[in-house]
Every structure is written in C-alpha cells, then in structure tokens.
Structure 1
Amino acid sequence: MGAQIREYRQRIRSVSATKKITRAMELMAASRVVKAQQAVRESSPYARAITRAVSAVATYSSEDHPLIGEKDQVKRAGVVIMTSDRGLAGAYSSSVLKESERLIARLRDEEGKEVVPYLMGRKAVGYYKFRGREYAQEWSGFSEKPRFDIARDVGRRLTGDFLKSTEDEGGIDEVHVVFTRFVSMVTQEPEVIRMLPLEVVEGTEPPEPEDLLPLYEFEPSPDEALDLLLPKYVNARLFNCMLQSAASELAARQRAMKSATDNAEELIKKYTRLANQARQAEITQEISEIVGGASALAESK
C-alpha cells in the first residue's frame, strides 16, 4: 500500500512539473501572438495595395511581362509550404501539410504537372526528409518571428526559377503558396494562393465603384514599371503569408498549451484522489490490525 502511495505522489510531482512548463509556454505564446496580430494588421493593407497597383499596371498596359502572362503549356509547378519550426502547436503544421498534399495530388494527378516543393519551417523539412522526398530548397529558424530579408531571399529564388526555361534550365511555370490564414484567435485556416503568374482578378465579389482601378500613364514605360513593382509584389505577398502563418502558429500553440495545462490539472486531481483513497485504505488496515491484535491479547488473558 505504501508503494502505491509513493507512486501516486511521484506522478503528481511529475504532472505538476509538466503543468508549469505548459503554463509558461501558454503565457509566452499569449504575449507573442498580440505582436504577431499587430504585424498582420500592419502588413495586410500594404500587400493588398501593391497587389492592386500591380493589377492596375498589368490591366492597362499592353506589355507582355513574363511574370504576368500565362504560359502556353504549364509543365512544372512550384509549391511553397509554410510550417512551424517547433511542435506543441496542435494540428497547425499537420493541417498545412495535408493541404499541400491535396494541392500536389491535384497538380500531379489531375493536371499532369511536375511539382517542385519549396519548404519553410523544420516541420516541413522533417516531413519530406523522413519520407525520402526531394525538394528544391529549405528555409527554417524564423517561423515565430518572420523577417523581411528571408521573404526577399525566398522571393528572389522563386522569381529566378520562374523566369528560367523549364526545357533547358529546370525552371517552373507557376508558383503556389500553402500557408495558414489568421482569422481569429480560435480560427486559423490553411489556404492556397497562386502567386505567379500574377492573377489580376482576385476574389469572387464584384468590385465597388470606389474600388475600380484608375487609369495610368507610364513614365518611362509600363515594362520598366512592372520590372520594379513585381519583385516588391512577390516579396510583400510572401512576407504577409509568413506573418499570417506566425500569428496562426502562436494562436494554435496557446490553445494547445492551455488544453495541456487543463489536462494536467485534471490528472493532478485524479492522482490526489487516488492517493487519498490509498492512504485511507492503509489507515483502515492499520486500525484493523491494531484492533485485531488487542482483541487477541484480551482473549489470551
């Protein structure tokens, strides 16, 4: 009986130590997600504005820019997969990987395209390395705190591969991004967007009168304007996706750690109750033994 009580007490100490860790991680995620939400709110208007500007230039110019025009035959598609660097975030990374698998299956099986993955986050890298799959390049170490220089490096690589010929140099014909859109603290949705070639019309709702694209005059030329705007568009959209993913990761981690803390509290209550029951049974047994011994002594006299 004493060994059972010691076991319960050891479990209580172990679960209590785990509870302290999960509680600390919950508080850290809660403090960081506020800054991540603010970063998303600050970057989203710029990303929408530059997309609108590039769409206007592309709509009202007659230039056939390589980053805008649809290719006659799409053979290779690049897929950027954004996951986390660390775990303990619930189903955050697995939902992104599942969405990417559905996208890759559609591109490969239904549309007959060769898929070239670009991985962001250690979870995606580990997922592909464990299964022995090939990928073009990886970036990791910044999922909770995205930096614009990383987005610029990723955008430079994607743009460079997009401009290469798929016949001779192994380039890609289109670029898709799989990330998690931050909707609220309780809702984060995996999403797929096609970044290249540029889709001039975004969304399904008709534009309002004040949202109509203005007419532009270009100086020195539309082609040079597009050369300057398109890299900024790619970098801004990538950075916004990275910020959305970071906020989603922190929100998912906060929920997961809160759930783990609540479960730890329930386990502590359960083991405390079992330890008390074992202690009461031990005391009852000791009293019974004392009473039995006293009765035996009384009868022997």
Structure 2
Amino acid sequence: LNELMASFEESPADAVPELAVVPSGEKILVVTFASDRGLCGPYNSNVLNAVRWLANEKGKENLEIKAMGIKVGSVLRRRGFKVLSSERRPAWSHFGPRIQELSRELLELWNSGEYREIRLIYSHLRGMTVVRPEPAVWLPIEPTEGQAEESRSGGGDYFIDEAVTAPVLAQAVQRYLTNELLTGLLQSEASEHVARMVAMDNATRNAEELYSTLQLTYNKARQAKITQEICEIVAGANAV
C-alpha cells in the first residue's frame, strides 16, 4: 500500500479523505491491546512498559489512551494517564463487528485533526515466543523515504492509471486500517494464551520444586525425631 501511494504523481490524499487530514495538535492517540485478567506473566506489564517508553519520548501530557483490555486501562488511569476508554476484549464471535466499530471511531477522531498520530501497542507472537510490543503507527499512512525515492526513480515496471486507481486506493486504505486493528487484536489474543501457558507451566514447575524441597525437609525432621527417640530408649535401657 505504501509503495502504491508513493507511485502517485499527485497526492493520494485527493482520493482518500483520511490522508488529507493535516494534524494541528501535538496529541498522540494510543490504542493498547492487552488482557482483562492477570496470571499471564509479563504480558500486561510489557504493554505498560511500551506506553511508558512512548510517554518518555513524546511527553506524558501528549498521550491519550484507548485501552482494549481493562488491566492496562485501570493501571494507566491510576498512573495519571488520560484514558479515553477502557473496555473488555470482545468474545471471538464479536471480533469482526467490534473492530469495524473501533476503526470507525478512530477515523472520526483522526478526522477531527486533534491528533498528530494514532499508534497501536500489542504483543507479537513469533512461533511460541511472545515478542515485546513496540508502538506501531496506524495513522498517518506515509510511504517511507526509500519507497518514495524508488518510485521517483522509476523502479516500478507497471503503469498506474490514477483516475481508475484512486477509488481502489480509497477502499484499500479502509480495509488496510481495519486489518491492522484486527491483526493487533488477534496477535494480542494469541500472545496472551502463550504467555498464560508459559506462566502456568513455570508456576507448576516452581510448585513441584517447592513440594520436593518441603517433602525433603519433613523427611529429615521425621528421621531426626525417630533417631532422637531411639537414642533416648537406648540411653534409658543402659541406665537400667
């Protein structure tokens, strides 16, 4: 999508209203995806750390939060962040409708011109490893310097009729933005399951280790008591 936008001679904002917005404020809207519950290791704290890192870089007063997952939302509110909303993650059957609704909400906020950026923060899953979240820019969509330079130098081997492509680009942008939100929610959901499985596995292993240590301690104490009683009996018999 970025490469396609970079290939336009005219600004793609002419075709896509969401790209025509010129942010006038310094505020950054942050959408976090986390858990509604605990007992999942550092899963929630990693999201909190990513928000804190962004606050240190951009300024805490410039951040506004929409939290999907009430654990992170409640903690951020207690720490003095401006939390616009904090909601439970939807059930699987409601993922699609809720993401569509969230996309519309975010686009309305973006079109107000109050925000310089909208960022997403969620944990990534790579194999069976949960990767720490990094704030990803959701809006504005801009081609990278390399993509723009490649387009200007004629790196593409295809011809684009902008009059025909503009409506397609408008639909592509809408679907791309919605898909990014859905990706964040799905990655967050899968990451939570893995993080919870790892946390429970570690807890089980620690409990087994504690049980073994406690059992050994009790056995030593029992053997010491038995030995002491035998010694007392022998000493009493010798005295008689």
Shorter-chain TM-score category? 0.7 to 0.9
Aligned to 1:257, which of 200, 204, 214?
Answer: 200
Equivalent residues of 2:33, 2:69 under 8 A apart: yes
Say if 1:95 and 1:115 are closer, same or farther in 2 by CA, change over 3 A: same
Map 1:186-225; keep pairs closer than 5 Å.
186-201=129-144, 212=156, 214-217=158-161, 222=166, 224-225=167-168
What is the root-mean-square deviation of aligned Cα atoms in Å? 3.1
Q: State how far apart, in whole Å, the 2-side matches of 1:200 and 1:69 are.
A: 14
Say yes or no: does 1:266 pair with 2:224: no
The structure with higher relative contact order (CA 8 Å, sep 6+) is 1
Q: Please report the TM-score for the alignment, with normalisation by the length of structure 2.
A: 0.82
Q: Which residue does the alignment assign to 1:39?
A: none
Give me the identity figure in percent: 29
Equivalent residues of 1:177, 1:194 under 8 A apart: yes
Say if 1:144 and 1:181 are closer, same or farther in 2 by CA, change over 3 A: farther
Letter in 1 for 2:83: Y
Say if 1:267 and 1:96 are closer, same or farther in 2 by CA, change over 3 A: same
Q: State how far apart, in whole Å, the 2-side matches of 1:103 and 1:213 are.
A: 39
- CA shift, 1:80, in A, is 1.0
Q: Please report the TM-score for the alignment, with normalisation by the length of structure 1.
A: 0.67
For structure 2, list consecutive stretches of 5 or more residues without a partner in the other structure.
none
Letter in 2 for 1:117: I
- CA shift, 1:57, in A, is 5.1
Say if 1:132 and 1:201 are closer, same or farther in 2 by CA, change over 3 A: closer
Map 1:37-52; keep pairs closer than 5 Å.
52=1
Equivalent residues of 2:121, 2:134 under 8 A apart: yes
Q: State how far apart, in whole Å, the 1-side matches of 2:222 and 2:140 are.
A: 71
Say yes or no: does 1:238 pair with 2:238: no
Letter in 2 for 1:118: K
Equivalent residues of 2:123, 2:130 under 8 A apart: no
- CA shift, 1:235, in A, is 0.9
Map 1:133-152; keep pairs closer than 5 Å.
133-142=81-90, 147-152=95-100
Q: State how far apart, in whole Å, the 2-side matches of 1:145 and 1:185 are.
A: 24
Residues paired across the two proteins, number = 232
For structure 1, list consecutive stretches of 5 or more residues without a partner in the other structure.
1-51, 167-171
